Amino acid sequence: MDSLEAQSAGLAAAEVSSVELVDAALARIEAADATLNAVVGVRGDAARAEAAAADARRSAGDRRSPLDGVPLLLKDNMVQQGEPTTCSSRILEGFVSPYDSTVVTRLREAGAIVLGRSNMDEFAMGSSTEHSVHGPAHNPWDTGRSCGGSSGGSAAAVSSGMLPFALGSDTGGSIRQPASFCGVTGLKPTYGRVSRFGLVAFASSLDQIGPIARTARECAWILDAIAGHDAKDSTSIPEPAPRVSDALDGDVSGLTIGMPREYFEEDGADPEVVSCVRAAISELERGGAKLIEVDLPHTPFVVSTYYLVATAEASSNLARYDGARYGRRAEGVSDVDEMYRRSRSEGFGDEVKRRILLGTYVLSAGYFDAYYRKAQQVRTLVRADFERAFAQCDVIAGPTYPEVAFELGSKQDDPINMYLSDVYTVSANLAGLPAISIPCGLVRDLPVGLQLQGRAMDEATLLRVADGFQGRTDHHDQRPPGHLGQAAR
């Protein structure tokens, strides 16, 4: 019973209690996390109390949603009142949030139980969870390999069977790439679909919260719970969110799937991964979908555009961490300048410093027009590419990542190579589009993700296609051998 659907059904049938699910999740975390390092904090007693209240409420006939009574993890960059939020960074050690993020409020309204916090790359900057003050999280399929990033802890926890679902954040692929590496389903909604209030900002025009679970159907249930306008977030879409789970009929016939030529001619992609993804798309064709080729001509420029926009915004957002107001403050300083300098130098890791330096440079006098403004202009061209493509198709399909999970440490000395591998994922963030990664097979016994991208505010069609694929295949039912998922079959 390691899936949201199974746990929800068990609770609805009174075959299991929420307290039992919380206790079982805590036991699985204790048993496996010394190996996986996916969880950075649990709230056992508080979660048990909330679970007991949920059991009593449901016994009285008040079942709020399919999430009611089910435990989950939050990525460690979403605040919860009275709980630590560190963004896996030394600079936020000791910080306890005085308020709840909107997603926490909405999860509670849906009856879900927040059990704890998941490991992540520091301030969500990374693709391997190696840039964490807690050390790297490990992939349940092969603990010597990366679980992806920056939401790697969330994906590893779901993949291993610790909990049935988790929330992550996605700025350039940070939900979808870990989902691909760990063989689970991860959804990045349309920008503004889910409130960012209470999400610690990395790049404000790119960040979006989304779910990681076993299936697209489960992701739809979670999105139904957390989506919708929020007056506390000025970038929130000012209209009611549709109930996307109602669109999941298992039928993809009559839909058109676009295959960008640029995604399948990528020189750096593993041919076996591309072949696996092609086979998955062919399964959609057998289900009645039509396949066409589309063009996204500015794809060669998306990585450089993304890393200019994202680092510029990161430089601005992270200026607030100065040791003066909250978080870590350097000791033994003689003046304010030294406090700022040492607090930031000691508090931030190398990857965060690298991105702050790059972002500060591109925003500086004499370089703003040449770099940041130009990147925003290219961003507009990228968005126009997708608009033209979606005039011909309903969903765009391709690989989530150019390779399977790489070995931990193998890319630490080559950050540029790591950045270039984001070529398939960053476009959705630049254009504000919804995108999902779903398991589509194994290459060398490691999971491969199929990425689907949809029109803005059309998560319904995106999830319909993903659910239709999962109704025809069993890749999402595969579990990592030798870990909790194996025992949970």
Q: Catalytic residue numbers?
A: 75, 150, 174
Q: Residue 154 and residue 218: Cα distance in Å, rounded?
A: 15
Given the DSSP bridges, would you call strands 71-75 and 165-169 parallel, antiparallel or unpaired? parallel
Phi and psi, residue 201, nearest 5°: -75, 135
CA distance 7 to 21: 8
> What phi and psi, each to the nearest 5 degrees, are found at residue 33?
-75, -20
Q: Which two tokens stand for residue 266?
A: 């990528």
- The phi and psi torsions of 14 (rounded to 5 degrees) equal 60, 30
CA distances from 283 to 115, 179, 466 (A): 37, 20, 11
Instruction: Give the CA radius of gyration of the chain.
Output: 21
Are the CB atoms for 196 and 235 separated by under 8 Å? yes
Pairing relation of β-strands 209-213 and 185-188?
Answer: antiparallel
Q: How far apart, in whole angstroms, are the C-alpha atoms of residue 151 and residue 314? A: 17
* Residue 449: strand, helix, or coil: strand
CA distance 77 to 88: 8
**What tokens appear for 74 in the block?**
């939050």
Distance CA 109, CA 126 (A): 32
- Residues 152 and 340: their CA atoms lie apart, in Å, by 30
Tokens of 66: 């399919």
